[in-house]
Structure 1
């Protein structure tokens, strides 16, 4: 287990903008080249920023459909009632104002890897010398029998893409009667943010404890185990005794079908009715990556672990949630870390030089209550089997820790968020 002092060091580093692992690369002298980045989240925005920082002579165009970015990290705290949606909504303007990145607000609809150009829904085309694809995830609306996009937008939200869905789920929690049951249904691996559903349960429990204390939460899980399980379950036992029930897939927890009109779910042990039902469906890489032929049959994009270059097309890099990243989870910090390695490799490939050796990092903070934080941290390097954990490089919160420690980690969580936002968007 990690010591308290080590956690302070890790969290203090994460709280500082620009403190995430950064490849060492000297600035170029008029190397030039055109880079198009698809996707303006933690991965794409970071890649665009650092390519320009490493080499200001490179023309970087960031293609993103949405004017603002509502982060999935901290969206659970909106559900808990102690964070506003506005506080997790960010503009990308600093990328253009401070780093000279060209922002194109449009949807990328196709990639021609032979002609090296990206087609936009507007009808225009963007040529590139190197392409960075960071499209995030696509939700499989057909992955849960009986569920659909229409159901998600009415009475069974996923809230796995933050924004209107987050607010829909929040309104449902506010409207439910005290004594009602909230059902949360996490998918099988892999999916975006492995601890996310369980932090969500914690935040919903916080809201219910303070406003509707007779209510219960039922987790119907497709998996038999989950990320930071011991830490979460220990926190639930101490903070929300008797409120939360988790049922593993092997015990019938996997949902077989849902009925949105009746607000019921069918499982291996029977039918359950919920006042609020949160369906988190299976996922794949974003549609643009799949349509461009960058994905494997499993729906995720294979990459070279040394650079995150696509194994399917030359001059293309895929990073973040859409990629097959070995031992690295699909998280905001992972995407931010991968983006810096991608940026270094893009610049080196345009210069014809050797890129620095890749090192990746991930830190994942979660809250059980606003004053009860837990975390896990690891460093990764390329290996013959993909991206692998460096032994003894990280740590996890102690299972047994006092309130002072838990509160400190909750404060570090806030510092982590401020740091990664500053590091991503400038």
Structure 2
């Protein structure tokens, strides 16, 4: 079937996320191809649904958690603007599309035998493997803090129990107390995420604890949407938020979780709560599969999302080292479309379409005051590169900011419906 033109239905499906497809070319060797996907978030679950709509492919989605909690929009829960339940989705809708959903943890990948080994002992053979496991943390990246201290100084950067813990601890801070955040070094999941979190904590304090203070300890000289956040903080929360960058000790931080103390450039500061967002790397299964490099991330071909270590493995979303795209849910969903097209192309011996990607990241600074940044992307020299971009501007009028907030809500509703086809649990 080499050189056969693929039907328009495949292009339409990948562009729109439609639930059904017209007849497509038969698979190579007229067999049923097996695709295993590890990770049921925005990248993996999107890829599972798209592939399941293709005749002749058996799709297995491996996800340890029976309920998925979105990291995106979880800051709004911390700020008291959403319920926790509104962030949670089951996998019944995905299973209903024909995807085999297994709630277990992948512990190994045998690339020679093309096999995934699960914690409970099952072995899954694959023709193509998709890895979308999100992030893991670099233990020891913040001196004095380890993952064992996350119950005292939570990270809340993998949504779920940690998010609920941080919400409870924020509400227990005494009047006039001090909340500190240790921001992560680049690269990390959702570049505006820590600063939207600060905004939502500030909103919570403004409502419940107006004399409380927020201290950001940041190892980076700058951060995404910095001018927009600084303007918004000054407008909505004057005098509440202080940021210490690397020039003043933000990169020289030690923690004492047992006594709620932080040491900044040798000076001890007592805090009531510290949110520690450590350095990050690809989810553990990517490393176990041997597709990461010395950076801790998984290099991929920007034209296909295929791993540079193994062209039969595709890495999506936060774990991928791909170029210019930020690590976001929107990016993961966009990358899933390209990866699915590449997988179908390989299995059908047919041409793949030219890879194009898109991303938008919205951030809520205060209720009804949201900003956004985004770009379109293409593939060049094996990497994903931005072709054009946009960003909200300082001093936009209130109507535009309200419209941006509405766009963010609409996108959340749209992407969760597209992926999960069911209401929050």
The reply to whether TM is greater than 0.5 is yes
1:410 and 1:51 mapped to 2: Cα distance? 32
Aligned pair count?
A: 403
Deviation sequence 1:371-401 (CA, Å, 0-9, x none): 10000120000011611000xx331112121
Answer yes or no: is the 8 Å Cα contact 1:215–1:243 preserved in 2.
yes
Q: Unmatched 5+ residue regions in structure 2?
A: 1-12
2:183 and 2:219 mapped to 1: Cα distance? 6
Higher relative contact order (CA 8 A, sep 6+): 1
* Alignment correspondent of 1:214: 211
Which range moved further: 55-64 or 193-202? 55-64
Given candidates 398, 408, 415, the residue that maps to 2:410 is 415
* Alignment correspondent of 2:4: none
Which range moved further: 380-389 or 354-363? 380-389
* Alignment correspondent of 1:400: 395
1:19 and 1:354 mapped to 2: Cα distance? 16
Which secondary structure state, in structure 2, belongs to the residue aligned with residue 261 of structure 1? helix
Given candidates 142, 145, 161, the residue that maps to 1:144 is 142
* Alignment correspondent of 1:202: 199
Alignment of 1:53-202 (within 5 A): 53=53, 55-97=54-96, 99-153=97-151, 155-202=152-199
Answer yes or no: is the 8 Å Cα contact 2:154–2:274 preserved in 1.
yes
Structure 2 residue 24 is matched with structure 1 residue 28: yes
Answer yes or no: is the 8 Å Cα contact 1:29–1:57 preserved in 2.
no
Which secondary structure state, in structure 2, belongs to the residue aligned with residue 198 of structure 1? helix
1:44 and 1:114 mapped to 2: Cα distance? 23
2:194 and 2:343 mapped to 1: Cα distance? 34
Per-residue deviation, 1:19: 7.4
* Alignment correspondent of 1:3: none
Answer yes or no: is the 8 Å Cα contact 1:76–1:200 preserved in 2.
yes
Answer yes or no: is the 8 Å Cα contact 1:366–1:375 preserved in 2.
yes
Structure 2 residue 50 is matched with structure 1 residue 50: yes
2:282 and 2:200 mapped to 1: Cα distance? 27
* Alignment correspondent of 2:220: 223
RMSD value over aligned CA atoms? 1.7
Alignment of 1:367-406 (within 5 A): 367-384=364-381, 386-390=383-387, 393-406=388-401
Deviation sequence 1:335-368 (CA, Å, 0-9, x none): 0000010011111110011111100000100100
Answer yes or no: is the 8 Å Cα contact 1:326–1:387 preserved in 2.
yes
- In structure 2, do the counterparts of structure 1 residues 309 and 255 end up closer, same or farther at CA, with 3 Å as the change threshold? same
* Alignment correspondent of 1:272: 269
2:357 and 2:185 mapped to 1: Cα distance? 25
1:19 and 1:231 mapped to 2: Cα distance? 32
2:252 and 2:165 mapped to 1: Cα distance? 22
1:388 and 1:21 mapped to 2: Cα distance? 23
Deviation sequence 1:163-209 (CA, Å, 0-9, x none): 11111111111111110111011111000011000000000000000
* Alignment correspondent of 2:298: 301
Q: Unmatched 5+ residue regions in structure 1?
A: 1-16
Answer yes or no: is the 8 Å Cα contact 1:305–1:383 preserved in 2.
yes
Answer yes or no: is the 8 Å Cα contact 2:356–2:378 preserved in 1.
yes
1:20 and 1:321 mapped to 2: Cα distance? 22
Answer yes or no: is the 8 Å Cα contact 1:144–1:255 preserved in 2.
no
Answer yes or no: is the 8 Å Cα contact 1:223–1:248 preserved in 2.
yes
TM-score for both structures, normalised by structure 2:
0.92
* Alignment correspondent of 2:8: none
1:372 and 1:394 mapped to 2: Cα distance? 21
Answer yes or no: is the 8 Å Cα contact 1:255–1:265 preserved in 2.
no
- In structure 2, do the counterparts of structure 1 residues 240 and 156 end up closer, same or farther at CA, with 3 Å as the change threshold? same
Structure 2 residue 353 is matched with structure 1 residue 356: yes
Which secondary structure state, in structure 2, belongs to the residue aligned with residue 350 of structure 1? helix
2:207 and 2:273 mapped to 1: Cα distance? 17
Answer yes or no: is the 8 Å Cα contact 2:14–2:341 preserved in 1.
no
* Alignment correspondent of 1:343: 340
Answer yes or no: is the 8 Å Cα contact 2:358–2:377 preserved in 1.
yes
Per-residue deviation, 1:404: 1.2
Answer yes or no: is the 8 Å Cα contact 2:47–2:336 preserved in 1.
yes
Answer yes or no: is the 8 Å Cα contact 1:307–1:341 preserved in 2.
yes
1:266 and 1:385 mapped to 2: Cα distance? 43
2:269 and 2:406 mapped to 1: Cα distance? 37
Which secondary structure state, in structure 1, belongs to the residue aligned with residue 286 of structure 2? helix
2:15 and 2:204 mapped to 1: Cα distance? 33
- In structure 2, do the counterparts of structure 1 residues 20 and 74 end up closer, same or farther at CA, with 3 Å as the change threshold? farther
Per-residue deviation, 1:252: 1.1
Which secondary structure state, in structure 1, belongs to the residue aligned with residue 258 of structure 2? coil
Answer yes or no: is the 8 Å Cα contact 1:336–1:424 preserved in 2.
no
TM-score for both structures, normalised by structure 1:
0.92
Per-residue deviation, 1:21: 8.5
